[in-house]
Amino acid sequence: MSCRCEEKIDMRLNNPATHISKFSNLASHVLVFVLLLGTALTACSTKMPPMPSLNIDTGQVRAGNDGYGTFYSYLPSTLNQNTEILVLVHGTPIDGTAEENAEFYVNSWKVFAEEHDYILIAPAFNQEDFSSRYGDHAMSGYRGLFGREIGADEWVIRLAEAFQSAAELSNAQYNLYGHSAGGQFVGRFLVMHPEKINKAVITSAATYPQPDINIKWPFGMGELHTNIEWDENKSNRVDIIPDTQNWLDATQVHLTVIVGLNDKEEIPLELIPGQKGTTRFTIARNWVKDMNTFAELNGVESQFKIELIPGIGHSMSGLMPHSQSALLTE
């Protein structure tokens, strides 16, 4: 039986500032997640599903489910303790389901994974639990790291840790790739969890988390206080106070933002609050520039770079060779 509940997610951190010292108090690096469950006619269970039971046989694309959703994976035949994880985040499912999109991503990248010793993990961010359709009611859904029962970012962390444990990997960090809406997820994951990421690639995203406290999350580093109504039985209360130190730490991750110059669609302003530009390549170029300036003003050199690819439009497959090269670049 479903229960009506209200969840309050409180990410309380140091007060934001425009400029940050890299020697700031250690506490400013820590995100504190406090989950307060409201009461109703019936109590909502807070027990998490068990960690997924993983089959670590190599050389096959496999589907799994851990209670929060379906995910697809591929383990290379070269699997060893130094193998790295690459999380693939799909875009808005236009043709087919989120599950079909996640499976397609793994199949598209498995040759690369086999050649370069990567475990692939592709979570399926479906509409019901992660609001995968573009511009719907749930505050950008997984693009903004939101989820009905678990945050989209927390689900990725959970899956990555499960594979790290099952395969006995030595590296606690992993790599992130996202296309379009998946790229929006990667940008926000990066500024919330920079310590978890080795390298990241974003292709063809429409929005990014701007380094500006006057723009509310998920479009900037400003506070967000709102209710997310998933349906008549589910309301999540979110109070998010981002930590600006995380934006600075994120600039130390090797991130490549890639956009095709034929990706010329003009995006309605109501869908891209706080962004500088109306096309994906102008928005991307300005965000990378602003993040690099933000780093410079705080005394560090940014590791962000941008690649604008002629002759390619809004295409994951068309940009894939450039994405793979970026992951291999030191």
Domain ranges, ordered by start, for the chain: 57-214+243-328
> Token pair for residue 275?
């962004």
DSSP string, 197-235: EEEEEEES-S---BS-TTSBTTTBSB-EEEEEEEETTEE
> Token pair for residue 166?
């099952």
Mind listing the pLDDT tens digit of every residue in the chain (330 residues)? 223 333 333 333 333 333 444 334 433 333 333 333 232 323 333 467 777 778 788 999 999 999 999 999 999 999 999 999 999 999 998 888 999 999 999 999 999 999 999 999 999 999 999 988 765 556 789 999 999 999 999 999 999 999 999 999 999 999 999 999 999 999 999 999 999 999 999 999 999 999 999 999 999 999 999 998 888 888 889 999 999 999 999 999 999 999 999 999 999 998 899 999 999 999 999 999 999 999 999 999 999 999 999 999 999 999 999 999 999 997
Cβ(280)–Cβ(227) below 8 Å: no
pTM of the model: 0.85
* Cα-based torsion angle of the residue sequence 203, 207, 211, 214 in order, rounded to the nearest 10 degrees: 180
Assigned CATH for 57-214+243-328: 3.40.50.1820
